[in-house]
Amino acid sequence: MAKYKPVRSGFTSYSLYKLPQIVPFLIVLVVAATADDSDFRSSNSWRSHPSKKLTKPVVLLISSDGFRFGYQFKTETPNIDLLIARGTEAQTGLIPVFPTMTFPNHYSIATGLYPAYHGIIMNKFTDPITGEFFNRNLDPKWWLGEPLWETAVNQGLKAATVFWPGSDVLKGSWTCPKGFCKTPYNVSVPLEERVDTILSYFDLPKSEIPDFMTLYFDEPDLQGHQYGPDDPRITQAVAKVDKMMGRVIKGLKKRNVFGDVHVILLGDHGMVTNCDKKVIYIDDLADWIKVPADWIQAYFPVLAMNPRWGKDVKNPGEKNAELVAKMNEALSSGKVENGEFLQVYLKEKLPKRLHYSESSRIPPIIGMVGEGLMVKQNRTNAQECFGNHGYDNMFFSMRSIFIGHGPRFRRGKKVPSFENVQIYNVVAEILGLRPAPNNGSSLFTRSILLPFGETWEVE
């Protein structure tokens, strides 16, 4: 094993304003950062092109949807393993935000905000105040906060998105520019084509290469929903994602920039099995309280309720509290099948760690559903087993992966698991951007990134 020692160059951080002064240093550092890269040393193109192509920090943020932590052990994943071995990994996975759904989580990664603050509180929801329905709409009024592509462009950098929930919403100076922003989302675009679009950006003249790029794979989430997390088709999907990572790595190496690019591979949430035997039926609560179906906006993995009290009801808040108490009484009575796996809350009373109350879009009553349990109104529509996510972010099954590879990430480093709201600041720091207000900690970047200008050298 090679021994590495830290080398300081005196820069601990930088901003855009300093960029012109530091560019010459940057070139030197970038060379130093990759000089110990055996692949570079052995490659002929490295010898024939001693000057590095990239003279600025570049971040490629890759999401593999529904890549549950642990999937990487299901099969051979040589490319993901390479990133882990030479990069920084969240040792026991990346912690999603609640609810552990695709849109809330991708947008938390992009903005550093919990869903209550970025506004995408579920994949689909009805605003309790306006009655308007959100179903992945692109109207910017739904999408609060400042996503990374907007921060980048606001501060004079270039961004490109090959899909990402929210990336085709026009916000601030982000115009979803043609050729640099794939829209609308098209599940049929092969993953290979998505990778190749990203790689083509590295063939542009230096000044045209986007500083920040996103790449989105919808696997293994698709197989996970259909078959649950333990199925041969999941294993195949994991192998496919690894193959796509191989395509990324090979393409970057061919262009002589693999060591320069900050490649971040992560997922939005995990996956757990849902099965018919694990169901809570709302109609089973009828002896305590009758809950009509039209009060329920979502059954599971999050029970979301907005009761419609009559006009004669003076204090709906009080009625909501009574309803919650009655439901919990029924659920904890021991007489409701699987009742112990559902706990109902007024949103203000949800555990603070969920950060899921401070938005008028969140319905007044939320039920926390046990891991893998389903909630249905009644026993009429039976279903097979399948997979789902959206549950409490405390469950290990909801965790995904985080791997960072590139000049600012330590090699072979493991960091404790962290919430994905931290990533916004990490990317902003790498790119030298002033972060917009967010829920990440400004200290976190120091625990995961090498200070700017510090790099690891073979002793």
Name the site residues for Zn ion (rule: CB under 5 A): 65-66, 102, 221, 268
Question: In the complex with ligand NAG, which residue's Cβ is closer, 46 or 114?
Answer: 114
User: How many helices (DSSP H) and strands (DSSP E) are in the chain?
Assistant: 13, 19
**Interface with ligand NAG includes 437 (CB under 6 A)?**
yes
User: In whole angstroms, what is the distance from residue 213 CA to residue 230 CA?
Assistant: 32
Q: Which residues pair with 402 in a beta bridge?
A: 266
Instruction: Give the residue at shortest CB distance from ligand NAG.
Output: 437
Least distance between ligand NAG and beta carbon 344 (Å) = 18
Going by DSSP bridges, is the β-strand pair 133-135/365-369 parallel, antiparallel, or unpaired? unpaired
Least distance between ligand NAG and beta carbon 109 (Å) = 15
Neighbours of 43 (CB within 10 A): 16
Q: 453, exposed or middle or buried, with CB in 10 Å at 0-12, 13-18, 19+?
A: buried
Residue 301, preceding peptide bond in cis (omega within 30° of 0): yes
The item of ligand NAG, Zn ion, none sharing an interface with residue 268, based on CB under 5 to 8 Å by kind, is Zn ion
Least distance between ligand NAG and beta carbon 225 (Å) = 20
Question: In the complex with ligand NAG, which residue's Cβ is closer, 65 or 284?
Answer: 284
Among left, alpha and beta (phi > 0; psi -120 to 50; other), residue 132 is beta
Going by DSSP bridges, is the β-strand pair 413-415/159-162 parallel, antiparallel, or unpaired? unpaired
* Binding span for ligand NAG by CB under 6 A among 86-94, 151-159, 182-190, 252-260: 182-190
Least distance between ligand NAG and beta carbon 150 (Å) = 15
* Binding span for ligand NAG by CB under 6 A among 9-17, 163-171, 307-315, 375-383: 375-383
The alpha helices in 187-315, defined as continuous H runs, are 191-201, 221-227, 232-254
Instruction: Please report, in angstroms and rounded to a whole number, the separation of the first and last CA atoms in the chain.
Output: 11
Question: In the complex with ligand NAG, which residue's Cβ is closer, 189 or 346?
Answer: 189
Radius of gyration in angstroms for the set of CA atoms belonging to the chain, rounded to a whole number:
24
CA distance readout (Å), 162 to 63, 107, 247, 417? 11, 15, 15, 27
Question: In the complex with ligand NAG, which residue's Cβ is closer, 56 or 347?
Answer: 347
The item of Zn ion, ligand NAG, none sharing an interface with residue 113, based on CB under 5 to 8 Å by kind, is ligand NAG
The item of Zn ion, ligand NAG, none sharing an interface with residue 454, based on CB under 5 to 8 Å by kind, is none
**Residues from 91 through 150 that contact ligand NAG (CB under 6 A):** 113, 117
Least distance between ligand NAG and beta carbon 421 (Å) = 8
Question: In the complex with Zn ion, which residue's Cβ is closer, 100 or 320?
Answer: 100
User: In whole angstroms, what is the distance from residue 345 CA to residue 169 CA?
Assistant: 33
* Binding span for ligand NAG by CB under 6 A among 16-24, 184-192, 210-218, 253-261: 184-192
Q: 102, 111, 439, 445: which one contacts ligand NAG (CB under 6 A)?
A: 439
Least distance between Zn ion and beta carbon 269 (Å) = 5
Instruction: Give the residue at shortest CB distance from Zn ion.
Output: 102
Residues 6+ apart with CB under 8 A from 309: 316, 319
Count of residues binding ligand NAG (CB under 6 A)? 13
The answer to whether the beta carbons of residues 433 and 56 sit under 8 Å apart is: no
Q: Which residues pair with 374 in a beta bridge?
A: 279
Sole residue written with tokens 């603070």 = 352
AA identity, residue 43: S
The item of Zn ion, ligand NAG, none sharing an interface with residue 117, based on CB under 5 to 8 Å by kind, is ligand NAG
Q: 19, 31, 138, 189: which one contacts ligand NAG (CB under 6 A)?
A: 189
The item of Zn ion, ligand NAG, none sharing an interface with residue 188, based on CB under 5 to 8 Å by kind, is ligand NAG
Q: 451, exposed or middle or buried, with CB in 10 Å at 0-12, 13-18, 19+?
A: middle
| Residues that are catalytic | 102
Our CA angle for 74, 79, 81, nearest 5°, is 65
The item of Zn ion, ligand NAG, none sharing an interface with residue 220, based on CB under 5 to 8 Å by kind, is none
**Interface with ligand NAG includes 155 (CB under 6 A)?**
no
Least distance between ligand NAG and beta carbon 70 (Å) = 29
* Binding span for ligand NAG by CB under 6 A among 251-259, 262-270, 422-430, 433-441: 433-441
Residue 184, preceding peptide bond in cis (omega within 30° of 0): yes
**Residues from 272 through 311 that contact ligand NAG (CB under 6 A):** 293
Strand ranges (E), 299-380: 302-305, 342-346, 365-369, 374-376
Among left, alpha and beta (phi > 0; psi -120 to 50; other), residue 290 is beta
Least distance between Zn ion and beta carbon 437 (Å) = 26
Least distance between ligand NAG and beta carbon 71 (Å) = 26
Question: Both tokens of residue 151?
Answer: 């921060």
**Interface with ligand NAG includes 188 (CB under 6 A)?**
yes
The answer to whether the beta carbons of residues 23 and 452 sit under 8 Å apart is: no
Question: In the complex with ligand NAG, which residue's Cβ is closer, 51 or 188?
Answer: 188
Site residues (vs ligand NAG, CB under 6 A)? 113, 117, 186, 188-189, 293, 355, 377-378, 380, 437-439
